[in-house]
Amino acid sequence: MPAATQINVEYFFRLLYECFRGACGSIEIAGLSALLAQIWLWIIIIGYALSVMGLFVIIYSTMRLFELREREEKYYSTVLVAPSATGGAHPRWEHIQSLVEGASPSAWREAIIEADIMLDDMLTRQGYTGDTVGEKLKVADPAHFKTLQDAWEAHKVRNQIAHEGSAFVLTEALTRRTIARFESVLHEFRVI
């Protein structure tokens, strides 16, 4: 039976070491050794550069994260109180009132359009279905909607403004009457 052969790993590593030291016989390893040393130097330089850039990215990201947390803290710590709980008027309605008090017909137009948007929001919250305010008002029951006629009249003025634009002559009296109709509807459903 033949004797088992053993591999001497230490012997191979020793040969490899001596080869890099220049003892590989006729092969010139000194140039290869210098090239490997130069490559290793560049790897070290690039590694340090990437480490410094990574450090700057980490610092910048941390600073931005703290800024974001501060903004979130301010945003989420602000308590929103419903207008009815404060006893004051609805902020959107106050804006509409300020537009009505203005002297320009463009502000009056904006007030009527904003009031119609509030009417649409209120109708949606009340469960009326339809794509437009007109469709929602069509399905409304007059028995449960006492100011339905006021809603229709106010919405008609809004439609005239939307379809005719600046060609529609809007007076202060018509504006105040239309806003009063919107107000009566919104009061009925306790929006304002």
* pLDDT bucket at 34, cuts 50 / 70 / 90: confident
Residues above pLDDT 90, as percent of the chain: 52
- Using the predicted structure, report yes or no on whether residue 152 has a pLDDT greater than 60: yes
What tokens were used for 40?
């290793």
Q: Tell me: the pLDDT tens digits for 183-192?
A: 999 999 888 8
Q: pTM for this structure?
A: 0.54
- pLDDT for res 138: 93
Domains and CATH numbers, the chain: 10-77 (no CATH), 84-188 (1.20.120)
DSSP 88: S
DSSP H stretches of helix in 89-171: 91-101, 105-125, 133-138, 148-164
Task: Give the C-alpha distances (Å, rounded to integers) separating 85 from 88, 89, 137.
Answer: 8, 10, 29
**What is the biggest distance separating any 2 CA atoms in the chain, rounded to whole angstroms?**
121
* pLDDT tens track for 62-117: 999 999 999 888 877 765 554 444 455 688 999 999 999 988 899 999 999 999 99
